């Protein structure tokens, strides 16, 4: 079955430290990939997306992600985390380019001061 795996359920980092959230999708000829963030009481906000082209994509709030087809991965990174980044992060996959989104289970990020 088509699926998205986020292996880390919870991650805790110190403010100012670097961050990498892992994501793998099961298979797909032309994957369309997204990262969304969900803060408490807030709706899902798009951080960045990959459709084609440069495999390193830049997003909002200083986030970036790298698509690696050979590893079926789309990891999210940020060089220096801020306390306001504490939230839940979802890796999302649209297999085959259609608009049916498949969400990972999410990674909850906590930031220590």
Partner 1 sequence: EAGVAQSPRYKIIEKRQSVAFWCNPISGHATLYWYQQILGQGPKLLIQFQNNGVVDDSQLPKDRFSAERLKGVDSTLKIQPAKLEDSAVYLCASSLAVSGPLTQYFGPGTRLLVL
Binding footprint of partner 1 on the chain (CB under 8 A): 4, 32, 34, 36, 41-46, 49, 51, 90, 92, 94, 97-101, 103-106
CB of 90 to partner 1, least distance (A): 5
For partner 1, the closer of residues 51 and 83 by Cβ is 51
25 in Cβ contact with 31 (< 8 Å) = yes
Alpha carbons 93 and 82: distance in angstroms, whole number:
26
Location of structure tokens 């985390």: 81
Q: How far is the CB of 70 from partner 1 (least distance, A)?
A: 21
| Cβ neighbours for 63, distance < 8 A, ≥ 6 positions apart | 35, 47, 48, 76, 77, 78
| Complex with partner 1: residue 57 or 104, whichever CB lies closer | 104
φ, ψ at 97 (rounded to 5°): 85, 0
């Amino acid at each position: 079955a088509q699926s998205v795996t986020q292996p880390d359920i919870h991650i805790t980092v110190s403010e100012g430290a670097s961050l990498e959230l892992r994501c793998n999708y099961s298979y797909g000829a032309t994957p369309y990939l997204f990262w969304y963030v969900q803060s408490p009481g807030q709706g899902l906000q798009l951080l960045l997306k990959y459709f084609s082209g440069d495999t390193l994509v830049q997003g909002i709030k200083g986030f970036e992600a790298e698509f690696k087809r050979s590893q079926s991965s789309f990891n999210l990174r940020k060089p220096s985390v801020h306390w306001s980044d504490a939230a839940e992060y979802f890796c999302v996959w649209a297999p085959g380019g259609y608009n049916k989104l498949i969400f990972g289970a999410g990674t909850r990020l906590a930031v220590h001061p």
